[in-house]
Amino acid sequence: MSSVLELGHERRVSYFCFYSDAEPPTDGGRKPRGKGVRKESKAMRETWRIWRGNSGFISIDCGTANDSNVYIENDITYISDAQFIETGVNEDVRIIQNDFLGLYRTVRSFPNGNRNCYKLGSLNKSNKYLIRAHFMYGNYDGKNITPEFDLYMGVNLWRTISFSDETYGGYTIEIIIVASMNFISVCLVNTGHGTPFISALELRPLKNFMYGVVNETQSLRVFFDRYDVGRSNDSNEISYPDDAFDRYWWPKEDASWISSGTLQNVTNKDKATEPPSTVMMTAVRPLNNSDALYYSWTTDDSSLQFHVYMHFAELELLGPNMTREFTVCCGNNSCHNSPIRPEYLVSTTIQNPQPLTGQYDYSCSITKTKTSTLPPILNAIEIFFIWQLPITPTREEDVEAMVDIKATYKMKRNWMGDPCLPEIHKWEGLTCNNNHSDAPAVVSLNLSSAGLKGKIATSLANLKSIQSFDPVTLVDNLKEIQMEKRRYFHSNNLTQKSDVYGFGVVLLEMITGQPPIIRSKTNQEKKNLVDWARPTIAARDIHAALDPRLDGDYDANSLLKIAEIALACTSPTSIERPTMTDIVAVLKDCLGTETPVEISCGLEIGQVETMSGFSSALLPR
C-alpha cells in the first residue's frame, strides 16, 4: 500500500508572470506560463531581497540602494547590485508596487552606454552554473512602452529581451553554462529600441556531473518551465530549500492524467540532474490503464535542438504479481534503449539519446510493455533546448591584466565585459588580434586620452601579445616594466610561455644600453627601441647600435647574432617569433666559445639551461 498525499500542498501562496525561454507563439499554440503578479503577506514581502551567501549562491536585487536592508526568505538573502556593476540608474517600479515581491519593486536601467555588464566573480573555472535573470517593467519610467534589448552571456548572445505585456512586462529566463573563467559577465546591450533594464540576477552552482551535455561551447536554456507533474495547478512552485540548487519546479496537471503521491521521501539513484525529493513525491498516470501517457509541446522555431530529462520513481509498494514497466519515445521515434522499471521511492532519470529537432510539434510517449500489469507513470520533466556558445572569449591572461589595469588606474572609461569581443563593443583604446580561431589577445593599448599618473601596472607584463603601448604620462615609469623583465630573467623564471617579444626587448636594452622608449635630447620626441634598432641591425652595422660603454671589448659576430635573434623576438607577427628553445640554441652558439664567467661580448652568464625554456641569468657587464 502506498501513502496517498493530499495534493495541493503549498509552500506559499503566490502567482507571478513567468516567461521562460519559450517565445510567445503566434500560431495559436501553447503560450508561456503567465500567472500575473505574486501576492504575499506583508511579513513575507519584508523578507525577500537577496544575497545568498550559502552554497556559493549569488542573488542580486537590481536597482536597490547600496545601504538598504536585505530581505531573506528560506535562508536566501538578496542584496544590492552596487558591488557587481558600476553603471546604471536605480529606479522604482510604479505600478502596483505594494503587491510586488521586494525583488520586483526596483530595477536598474542603463540609459547611457551601448553595453553595461554585471560581473559575477569568485567562481570556479570549468564548473557548471545556473544563471537566472528577472525583468519586471512595471512602467518604471512612466512611458508605458516596454523596450527591446539584447542580453549577453559573456561574449555570446543569450537572448533578445522583448515584452508582450506593455504594462507589467514580467519576464524570467534561465541558462545552464560552464564558466570559462573565474567570473561571468552578464551584459545588457542597447539595440536602439529603448533603455535596457533588469530587476534581479541569480547564480546557482551546480554539480559538474549534472546536465552532461553542457560544456564551454554549449549551454542549455529552459523551454517553458520545469514541471512537477501531478501536483495541483493551484500549488506554488517548488524551489529552495526543497531543491538544493534553487531550480523552479512548477505544478502541472492535465485532464487526461490521474495524480497520485506519497508522504515518504524519494532518494536519487541517477545523478544526471538530482531532482528534489519533494518533486518526486507526486506522479501521474493515464486515465485508462491501457493507454500511453503523453507529454507534448509546440515551438515556433523548428531549428531548436531539444533535450528532455524525464524523472520516474515508483510511489506504490508493489505486490509480488504487480509489474510497472514502460518504454519512452520522443519526437520521431527517438526512444530510450531499454524499458524502464522505476524503483520504489528511488528516482531514475532518462534523457533523449539525440537532440530532438526539425519539427514544430513534439510529443513524448510513455507506453506500458506487454509484460506490465500497471500503467506508465511520470513524476517530473525538464525540457531544454541547446544553445551554442560559438564565440571564444579573450585570452584569460589578457582579461585579468586589463581588469587589473582598470582597477589600478581607476579607469573612468566604460570598460566592462570582455575587452575584445564582440568587436563592436571592444574596449576603447585597445586593438586585438581576432582571427576567429584562437582566443583573441590584446596587441595594442593606447591610454593617451586617459590622463593617467602613477606607477605603471606590473600586470602590463602579462599582455603577452602586446606590440604597441602608448602610456603617455606613464612613460617615465617604463623602467618598472624593464626591471620586472630583468627580475623574471635573473630569477630563472622564464618558460616557453614567457613573453618572447618582451625578452627580445630586454636583449636589445642590454646590448644597446637604451631604454624601451628613447627620448630625443632636442625635441623630446619619443621613439620605440625596437623601431630605433631594427634598421641599423638589419644593415648589419652592429657597431652603430651597441652600447658605447662596451668600449670595443666584445666579439662583433657574437653580438650581431644576439641582436638578430632579439629582432626576431620582436617581430610584429607573433607566428614569426622564435621559441625559447630556438633562442637558447642561438645564445649558446654565440656564447659557447667563451668562458662561463667572462664573455668577450660584454655579458656575464651563470649558466644556460634548455629545460622548458631559457632560464639563464644574463646581466649587463
- 243 pLDDT band (50/70/90 cuts)? very high
Q: Which three cell numbers, joined as nine digits, stand for 164?
A: 508582450
For 179, residues 6+ apart whose C-beta sits below 8 A from its C-beta are 123, 124, 125, 126, 127, 128, 129
Taking alpha carbons only, the member of 367, 372, 361 closest to residue 294 is 367
Taking alpha carbons only, the member of 470, 387, 360 closest to residue 153 is 387
Identify the helix (H) or strand (E) that includes residue 186.
strand 184-193
Cβ atoms of 452 and 472 within 8 Å: the answer is yes
- 169 pLDDT band (50/70/90 cuts)? low
* Interhelix angle 500-512/478-490, nearest 10 degrees: 100
Preceding omega of 24 cis (within 30 degrees of 0): no
Preceding omega of 196 cis (within 30 degrees of 0): no
Give the pLDDT score at 465: 73
- 493 pLDDT band (50/70/90 cuts)? low
Average pLDDT of span 64-88: 82
Classified as helix, coil or strand, 196 is coil
Residue 175 has pLDDT above 80, yes or no: yes
Q: Which three cell numbers, joined as nine digits, stand for 558?
A: 657574437
Average pLDDT of span 182-207: 97
Rounded CA-CA distance 374/318 in Å is 10
Summarize pLDDT for 423-478 with one digit per residue, the tens.
999 998 888 987 766 899 998 887 765 656 555 566 777 777 766 665 544 444 44
Give the pLDDT score at 497: 37
Residue 252 has pLDDT above 70, yes or no: yes
Q: Between the ranges 133-147, 368-382, 407-421, 510-524, where is the mean pLDDT highest?
A: 368-382
Buried b (16+ CB within 10 A) or exposed e, 554-575: bbeebbbbbbebbbbbbbeeee
Give the pLDDT score at 443: 87
- 164 pLDDT band (50/70/90 cuts)? confident
Give the pLDDT score at 121: 93
Among 257-266, 309-318, 536-545, which is the least confidently predicted range?
Answer: 536-545
Q: Label residue 417 exposed, middle or buried (CB < 10 Å: 0-12, 13-18, 19+).
A: buried
Classified as helix, coil or strand, 145 is coil
Rounded CA-CA distance 231/245 in Å is 20
The more confidently predicted of residues 377 and 487 is 377
Q: Between the ranges 76-85, 365-374, 540-549, where is the mean pLDDT highest?
A: 365-374
Q: Is the dihedral of CA 492, 406, 154, 54 positive or negative?
A: positive
Rounded CA-CA distance 487/619 in Å is 11
Among 72-86, 180-194, 405-419, 459-473, which is the least confidently predicted range?
Answer: 459-473
Summarize pLDDT for 109-132 with one digit per residue, the tens.
999 999 999 999 999 999 999 999
Among 119-128, 236-245, 546-555, which is the least confidently predicted range?
Answer: 546-555
Q: What is the DSSP string of 293-316?
A: EEEEEE-S-TT--EEEEEEE-B-S
For 552, residues 6+ apart whose C-beta sits below 8 A from its C-beta are none
Summarize pLDDT for 377-391 with one digit per residue, the tens.
999 999 999 999 999
Give the pLDDT score at 9: 27
Cβ atoms of 262 and 314 within 8 Å: the answer is no
Instruction: Identify the DSSP state of 613.
Output: S
- CATH 2.60.120.260 intervals, the chain: 42-206
Identify the helix (H) or strand (E) that includes residue 569.
helix 556-569
Q: Which three cell numbers, joined as nine digits, stand for 162?
A: 522583448
Residue 482 has pLDDT above 60, yes or no: no
Give the pLDDT score at 96: 63
Cβ neighbour number for residue 271 with a 10 Å cutoff: 11
Average pLDDT of span 255-268: 96
Summarize pLDDT for 561-589 with one digit per residue, the tens.
888 888 888 887 777 888 888 888 888 88
Q: Which three cell numbers, joined as nine digits, stand for 488?
A: 623574471
Give the pLDDT score at 107: 95
Give the pLDDT score at 509: 86
Residue 333 has pLDDT above 80, yes or no: no
Residue 42 has pLDDT above 70, yes or no: no
Cβ neighbour number for residue 494 with a 10 Å cutoff: 24
E-assigned strand segments in 344-461: 346-351, 361-368, 380-388, 430-433, 441-446
pTM above 0.85, yes or no: no
Q: What angle do CA 22, 26, 27 make, to 5 degrees?
A: 110
The more confidently predicted of residues 458 and 392 is 392
For 66, residues 6+ apart whose C-beta sits below 8 A from its C-beta are 80, 82, 83
Q: Which three cell numbers, joined as nine digits, stand for 447?
A: 591610454
- 224 pLDDT band (50/70/90 cuts)? confident
Q: What is the DSSP string of 317-357?
A: ---TT----EEEEETTTEE-SS-B-PPBTEEEEEE-SS-B-
Q: Is the dihedral of CA 32, 43, 197, 241 positive or negative?
A: negative
Rounded CA-CA distance 183/125 in Å is 8
Residue 19 has pLDDT above 90, yes or no: no
| Residue that is written with C-alpha cell 551567501 in the block | 53
Q: What are phi and psi of 217, to 5 degrees?
A: -115, 5
Identify the helix (H) or strand (E) that includes residue 408.
helix 396-408
Buried b (16+ CB within 10 A) or exposed e, 353-390: eebbbeeeebebbbbbeeebebbbbbbbbbbbbbbebe
End-to-end CA distance of the chain: 92
Q: Which three cell numbers, joined as nine digits, stand for 87?
A: 553603471
Summarize pLDDT for 278-324 with one digit per residue, the tens.
999 999 999 999 999 999 999 999 999 999 999 999 999 999 999 99
Summarize pLDDT for 336-376 with one digit per residue, the tens.
989 999 999 999 999 998 999 999 999 999 999 999 999 99
Rounded CA-CA distance 546/552 in Å is 9
Classified as helix, coil or strand, 562 is helix
Give the pLDDT score at 521: 65
Taking alpha carbons only, the member of 312, 300, 295 closest to residue 348 is 312
Residue 147 has pLDDT above 70, yes or no: yes
Rounded CA-CA distance 144/326 in Å is 52
| Residue that is written with C-alpha cell 506554488 in the block | 236
Q: Between the ranges 172-186, 330-344, 556-570, 597-611, where is the mean pLDDT highest?
A: 172-186
For the chain, helix, strand, coil in percent to 5 are 20, 30, 55
Among 176-180, 327-331, 373-377, 463-467, which is the least confidently predicted range?
Answer: 463-467
- 167 pLDDT band (50/70/90 cuts)? low
For 478, residues 6+ apart whose C-beta sits below 8 A from its C-beta are 456, 471, 515, 516, 517
CATH level 3 topology of 242-386: Jelly Rolls (2.60.120)
Residue 217 has pLDDT above 70, yes or no: yes
- 37 pLDDT band (50/70/90 cuts)? very low
What is the CA 294 to chain-centroid distance, rounded?
A: 36
> Across the chain, what does the average pLDDT equal?
79
Residue 273 has pLDDT above 90, yes or no: yes
Rounded CA-CA distance 294/375 in Å is 12
Percent of the chain with pLDDT over 70: 75
Give the pLDDT score at 45: 34
Domain 42-206 has CATH 2.160.10.10: no
| Residue that is written with C-alpha cell 627580445 in the block | 504
Residue 266 has pLDDT above 70, yes or no: yes
Q: Which three cell numbers, joined as nine digits, stand for 583?
A: 633562442
Q: What is the DSSP string of 38-98?
A: ----HHHHTT--B---GGG-EEEETT--TTSPP--BTTB-BEESTTT-S--EEEE--TTGG
